[in-house]
Homo-oligomer: A and B are copies of this chain.
């Protein structure tokens, strides 16, 4: 036989460390079978049920309420335990409260004026306001708190950007700045590798592996898992990358994230390619089409990212000469790429590769269905067409045999004043047309002449698939296409990359949306910080020899929602 007793404290705020210790202290009292001390959210209440700690009263608790549950052999034991709650909380407080703690961020900033950083780990719904306050004092923020809304994240990151400050997070679990670990961080020896990560444990695994492999790091900057979403648009990651790019001690940069939105990935990779440093990219789950692209080295697991970074660090200094593609001569407004493929999988590989270059490419065989071309007969913006798709081949020969459709489409695309590059495949071999160049070359020549007559430059890039033993005479085919003015490659990848590079250079998207760059001093100065929230983070900083001040923070109106809204209304007046 056992009995369960519950106590609910309305609108009571306790630090989650306190709650954990309270639960453990209760559970280890004599004759107590189990105990729980939780905030009354639905998830937490379900967990109580699962742990056999449910009682009818618990259902009434709201997310603001503290719920204390004890399971004991008898009514009396349970009641006695609940009576000790305040005492247990006070005891815990006394063991940790050893020095003076300011009650406000304002005071803390005066006490430690050299602290460029504020660590914030208060409950999510207060976190954005505390962050805004810290930004107001000109401080960068490491925002550990989760349960922060997307709107708040965008707002505080934009504000920070305007001020030349950085917000790592929300939900940023880890960072290492100037060899001091923030939040959760491993002890990594100094070395030439800098990391930016929208992933806490990803960053911990990679930095740990770098250490295990004998190398080390300059800084490891977290950004929060949502930073590379379309809505947040990589604001913090771009700032972090830019810091490491300007930091002379950083020789190799590692970028880690779950797959970013295509648009953000493209912007970030474009920024990374402007760097002279080698950059290891692990967008886990993102499929790089080739392992290297100039100074970018793509990895697909934490392990291989760490290994590649260490290997590159061993080969420093390295320089990467950007292959300088000439983009002179295009008219204003020319910027789009159009792909006219006869081969379905060549078209599909093109779409994959173009993800490294262009934010959105429409297609009749799209990778993501939101990029399906509404009408396959009309291209829009960047477009890749598979003209061998069923829709085009009813009662009609495949485009490898009959070029009529492709030639008509080529004419139409070439007349579009926004088109800069046309990409085509020419597939030789048995079964295919016996002289594709004989039909396509005149059409290409005419298209180029027409563009020139309108004072436009037009690039036609052809991937030629075949062998020297094919019936068509591959070399003669290539010569004919070149003579017509086309650029010819035998690898689809190289042809697509060239087309993508040109289109990307002609696009006008900005890489860095922020006005002010973040000062290097913020990461290069000896690290000191103000901590608001989980006090174990302060202790951890002190243990690492960093100056830290803990703010004795309480939620406004002690977390009482009704009172808070009254205060809000008073402030507004």
Residues of A within 8 A of B (CB): 16-17, 19-20, 23, 38-39, 41, 43-44, 46-47, 50-51, 63, 123-124, 146-147, 171, 173-174, 181-189, 199-202, 204-205, 208-209, 211-212, 225, 256, 258, 284-291, 300-304, 341-346, 348-349, 352-353, 367, 376-377, 388, 390-398, 400-402, 404-405, 408, 412, 425, 427-432, 465-467, 469-471, 490-494, 534, 536-537, 540, 543-544
Q: How many angstroms from the CA of A393 to the CA of B289 in the assembled complex? A: 37
Question: Provided the pairs A394-B39, A404-B23 are in contact, do residues A211 and B430 lie with their beta carbons within 8 angstroms?
Answer: no
Question: Provided the pairs A200-B343, A467-B186 are in contact, do residues A348 and B429 lie with their beta carbons within 8 angstroms?
Answer: no
Q: How many angstroms from the CA of A187 to the CA of B390 in the assembled complex? A: 26
Q: Is the CB of B345 within 8 A of A201?
A: yes
Q: A39-B395, A51-B408 are in contact. List 20 more A-B contacts (CB 8 A).
A: A17-B397, A20-B402, A39-B396, A44-B394, A182-B431, A187-B469, A187-B471, A200-B345, A200-B388, A201-B425, A208-B465, A209-B490, A284-B345, A284-B348, A287-B288, A291-B304, A302-B349, A302-B491, A303-B494, A431-B536
Q: Is the CB of A201 within 8 A of B39?
A: no
Which 8 interchain pairs have the tightest Cβ spacing?
Answer: A201-B343, A39-B395, A187-B469, A202-B345, A199-B345, A287-B287, A186-B429, A181-B430
Q: Is the CB of B303 within 8 A of A287?
A: no
Q: Is the CB of A47 within 8 A of B377?
A: yes
- In the complex, chain B residues whose CB is within 8 Å of the CB of A408: 47, 50-51
Q: Is the CB of B204 within 8 A of A427?
A: yes
A219 → chain B closest CB, angstroms: 15
- In the complex, chain B residues whose CB is within 8 Å of the CB of A171: 390
Q: Is the CB of A290 within 8 A of B300?
A: yes
Q: How many angstroms from the CA of A248 to the CA of B267 in the assembled complex? A: 49
Q: Is the CB of B200 within 8 A of A38?
A: no
Q: Is the CB of B352 within 8 A of A490?
A: no
Closest residue of B by beta carbon distance from A147: B390
Q: How many angstroms from the CA of A335 to the CA of B291 in the assembled complex? A: 36
Closest residue of B by beta carbon distance from A400: B184
Q: Is the CB of A19 within 8 A of B201?
A: no
Most buried by B among A19, A63, A289: A289
A197 → chain B closest CB, angstroms: 8
Closest residue of B by beta carbon distance from A412: B50
Q: Is the CB of B209 within 8 A of A491?
A: yes
Q: Is the CB of A346 within 8 A of B431?
A: no
Which residue of the partner chain, among B367, B404, B491, B536, contacts A285 with CB atoms under 8 Å? B367
- In the complex, chain B residues whose CB is within 8 Å of the CB of A377: 43, 46-47, 50
9 contacts between A and B (CB under 8 A): A19-B396, A38-B395, A39-B394, A39-B396, A44-B395, A186-B467, A204-B465, A212-B467, A285-B287
A39 → chain B closest CB, angstroms: 3
- In the complex, chain B residues whose CB is within 8 Å of the CB of A284: 289, 345, 348-349, 352
- In the complex, chain B residues whose CB is within 8 Å of the CB of A303: 290, 491-494
Q: How many angstroms from the CA of A425 to the CA of B494 in the assembled complex? A: 41
Closest residue of B by beta carbon distance from A14: B395
- In the complex, chain B residues whose CB is within 8 Å of the CB of A343: 200-202, 204-205
- In the complex, chain B residues whose CB is within 8 Å of the CB of A432: 184
Closest residue of B by beta carbon distance from A257: B345
A352 → chain B closest CB, angstroms: 5
Q: How many angstroms from the CA of A46 to the CA of B377 in the assembled complex? A: 8
Q: Is the CB of A211 within 8 A of B469?
A: yes
Q: Is the CB of A204 within 8 A of B301?
A: no
Q: How many angstroms from the CA of A397 to the CA of B16 in the assembled complex? A: 6
Q: Is the CB of B349 within 8 A of A301?
A: yes
